Amino acid sequence: MHPMLNIAIKAARRAGDIMLRYSDRLDRINIESKGPADFVSEVDRMAEGEIIHILQSSYPGHAILAEESGKQGDDEYQWIIDPLDGTTNYLHGFPHYSVSIALMHKGILDQGVIYDPVRDELFTASRGNGANLNNRRLRVSNVNRMQNALIGTGFPFKAIHRVDEWVNVFRAVLPRTSGIRRAGSAALDLAHVAAGRFDGFWEMDLSIWDIAAGCLLVQEAGGLIADFDGEQGHLQSGNLVAANPNIFPQLMDIVEASQT
């Protein structure tokens, strides 16, 4: 296993331990609002601080881009961190949230970890070396017809002005599938595409820390990803479609048609 991936795993597990430690005392956690339906808690900050401490202890020269503390440093290696993806779920005791850590090298995703502390599921990926779940090799599903596909999505709660656009896509996708799910952690949703639990996924206006590790997981598990124009600008725009190779063009066609 790549040594940098090993350090990221250590950091992700430590952050997950913090989440679990405080999950039975949510009424005593300090919470702040960053915007409509967008919260940050002291658990987010503690988890992020622990992750950064572990990464910087091993790689002090690497740059950091983290959800709560922003950008630190400038280096060809950059860690991209979402310490608690699914904060609203966590604060309500809904057991679906994750830690997401990715490493970029010269602007290219190189390592990725998503950790689900509730289920103790560790998703990992290294560029060119595949993706794993708890040391078991991952592959995307082989479902080939939209009518048999289970699709994940997320609401554009940070960009409520785009809700009509999202509804247009939802309206077009729903009758063509076997179901749509919205669970509230884009990082985990992408990990579940990589694991074949979802056959596809789409969402808009995500941040790079929400999706960086998940995108590498999907690609290393044999899936495809693009932005809403079918290009590779999803990390910049936050608009993405991800799916197995059979479902991807079908889902992409629906999303693209719904934009016009």
The pLDDT score that the predictor gives to residue 135 is 87
Q: Which residue has the tokens 């998940």?
A: 214
* pLDDT range class, residue 19, cuts 50, 70, 90: very high
How far, in whole angstroms, is CA 248 from its chain's centroid? 18
Which of residues 252 and 36 earns the better pLDDT score? 252
pLDDT at 8 over 80: yes
* pLDDT range class, residue 39, cuts 50, 70, 90: low
Query: What domains are there in the chain, each with its CATH number?
Result: 3-137 (3.30.540.10), 146-258 (3.40.190.80)
The pLDDT score that the predictor gives to residue 177 is 97
pLDDT at 149 over 80: yes
- pLDDT tens profile 173-198: 999 999 999 999 999 999 999 999 99
- pLDDT tens profile 47-67: 999 999 999 999 999 999 999
pLDDT at 37 over 60: no
Separation of alpha carbons 106 and 18, rounded Å:
31
HEC assignment per residue over 91-142: HCCCCCCEEEEEEEECCEEEEEEEEECCCCEEEEEECCCCEEECCEECCCCC
* pLDDT range class, residue 161, cuts 50, 70, 90: confident
* pLDDT range class, residue 32, cuts 50, 70, 90: confident
Separation of alpha carbons 193 and 219, rounded Å:
10
Which of residues 31 and 131 earns the better pLDDT score? 131
Mapped onto helix, strand or coil, the DSSP state of residue 65 is strand
Closest CA to 255 of 221, 223, 220, 231: 231
